[in-house]
Amino acid sequence: MKPIQIAIIGAGASGVFAAHWLLARLGKDIQIDIFEKQLEPLTKVKISGGGRCNVTHQHLPIKVFSSRYPRGQAKLKYNLQYFSSQDMLNWLEKRGVKTKVESDGRIFPITDTSKTIVQTLLDSINSPNCTLHLNTKVEEIHQKEHVFELKIDQNTHYFDYLIIATGGIAVFKDFFNAFDIKKIPFYPSLFSFQIPDPKLRSLMGISLNSVKVRLIGQKLEIQDALLITHWGLSGPALLKLSAFEAERLQQAKYIGKISINWVDTHVEEIKSELFAEKKKPKSIKVKNYKRNQMPQRLLEYLIEKAEIHAESHFHELKDKEINKLAETLTNQVLDFKGKTTYKEEFVSAGGIDLNELTQHYQLMKIPNCYVLGEAVDVDGITGGFNFQHAWSSAYLAAQDIANRIKKTENPMNIQNIV
């Protein structure tokens, strides 16, 4: 019997992982062709995590793990039941890849090089039933009588099943439009903020373990570490804010105001501390105020912003000056103008609307066609969450295809990691 022909467009994380699970379940019953327009497969895996590949995030309860996805939380709640970060770690371990968890929960191969992950993924699809076509761009897709036609270099190739794993770029507009598939336009997530305040920028290199940030006029407040850079503000707190407010920020053209609570404490608590100092007959100088080991240069910058002389003693300050200092420490409002990519790390929000997909990433309007990974409207914050979505979406789609081809209703759960 002729094997079932499956095309995968994109040899990125999700495309290659889907091919692996199809081979694992269906073996000789299928022939997979993976088309990759670049000269190499898995290019993003290779450069990811600064060349170390933050392959996933440490295990967390599903509710907590899925909350790390500004878009797609509900989808992840479902996915993680069937393919969690622990399943990915088991899969790697079975292939001899040892991993390590860093203090912030990010997981890397113990070799500290992404080459380990790239090679493991490529080994997992090494089969006569799978052909990887590099430097091969799929230009158009059509579907006629349940057969997918892929146009490549003026030639047409025919397939029974199609997996679109093309990452965060706008592709195949005509194909999706022909079936009236709703797409959310792509827009960036995970970036840092340009702050046009030369005095703040001169503090570059200063980092704080815990600040609170929010956009002015918005309730969402993010608490995490912050880094001052030569262009403004970065670090996990800002990256998370950019992810959860990505849509609003794009609409505002990346111009607006941000509030920083530098001391991660309520304003009233700071006020009572400062007024207590004021009441002391021999109060300290304002510049000697110690709070959570705030770097001296940052403290002096904030004192200046509050229009107070740093050499003044607290008992010399007027009440309104104390109030202003407390306000500046807990709610400094800064203008931002523009965004910057942090360590070249970014992800695209947007993609195929989740309402167009089944639980297993099949397009409801186009049977036998699946869309995975960053090409769908799911994205996570930094920390390995984006790859985890690539792995779990690929797993679910492959299991669904296998169940349909075998006409079985196998549970999606992993019985044996292969």
Ligand X SMILES: Cc1cc2nc3c(=O)[nH]c(=O)nc-3n(C[C@H](O)[C@H](O)[C@H](O)COP(=O)(O)OP(=O)(O)OC[C@H]3O[C@@H](n4cnc5c(N)ncnc54)[C@H](O)[C@@H]3O)c2cc1C
Q: Does 240 bind ligand X (CB under 6 A)?
A: no
Element (H, E) at 100: strand 99-101
Sorted by sequence, the CB contacts under 8 Å of residue 272 that are 6+ apart come out as: none
Nearest distance from residue 31's CB to ligand X, in Å?
A: 18
Angle at 333 between CA 329 and CA 337, to 5 degrees: 140
Site string for ligand X, 300-339 (x = CB under 6 A): ----------------------------------------
Residue pointed to by tokens 């709070």 = 291
| Whole-number Cα distances in Å, 203 to 206, 295, 362, 413 | 6, 10, 50, 51
Interactions with ligand X, residue window 140-179 (CB under 6 A):
165-167, 169, 171
Which position among 109, 350, 384, 397 is part of the footprint of ligand X (CB under 6 A)? 384
Q: Return the beta strands (E) in 169-206 as ranges.
A: 183-189, 192-194
Q: Does the footprint of ligand X cover residue 95 (CB under 6 A)?
A: no
Quick one: DSSP state of residue 182? Answer: -
Nearer to ligand X, 292 or 341 (CB): 341
Report the residue number, 167 or 256, with the smaller CB distance to ligand X.
167
What are the backbone dihedrals phi and psi of residue 382, each rounded to the nearest 5 degrees, phi first? -70, 160
Task: Tell which phi-psi region holds residue 171, choosing left (phi > 0), alpha (psi between -120 and 50) or beta.
Answer: beta
Closest separation between CB of residue 258 and ligand X, Å? 24
Rounded to an integer, what distance in angstroms lies between the CA atom of residue 334 and that of residue 98?
44
The yes or no reply on residue 397 touching ligand X (CB under 6 A) is no
Provide the phi-psi class of 112: left if phi over 0, else alpha when psi is between -120 and 50, else beta: left
Q: Is 386 in the site for ligand X (CB under 6 A)?
A: yes
Q: Does 9 bind ligand X (CB under 6 A)?
A: yes
Instruction: Indicate which single residue of 6, 8, 15, 75 sits in contact with ligand X (rule: CB under 6 A).
Output: 15
By beta-carbon proximity to ligand X, the closer residue of 138 and 317 is: 138
State in angstroms the smallest separation of the CB of 380 from ligand X. 7
Q: Is 350 among the residues that bind ligand X (CB under 6 A)?
A: no
Q: Is 346 in the site for ligand X (CB under 6 A)?
A: yes
For residue 77, what are the CA distances in angstroms to 71, 73, 258, 326, 397? 12, 6, 31, 41, 16
Of 13, 92, 117, 329, the one binding ligand X (CB under 6 A) is: 13
Note whether 19 binds ligand X by CB under 6 A. no
> Measured at CB, which residue is nearest to ligand X?
12
* Minimal distance, residue 89 CB to ligand X, in Å: 14
Q: Which is nearer to ligand X, 107 or 263 (CB)?
A: 107
40-69 positions binding ligand X, by CB under 6 A? 43-44, 47-49, 53-54
From the centroid of its chain, how far is CA 44? 13
Q: Is 106 helix (H, G, I), strand (E, B) or coil?
A: strand
Indicate the DSSP class of residue 233.
Answer: E
DSSP 5: E
Judged by beta carbon, residue 361 or residue 385, the one nearer ligand X is 385
Q: Footprint of ligand X on this chain (CB under 6 A)?
A: 9-15, 35-38, 43-44, 47-49, 53-54, 137-138, 165-167, 169, 171, 344-347, 373-375, 384-387, 390
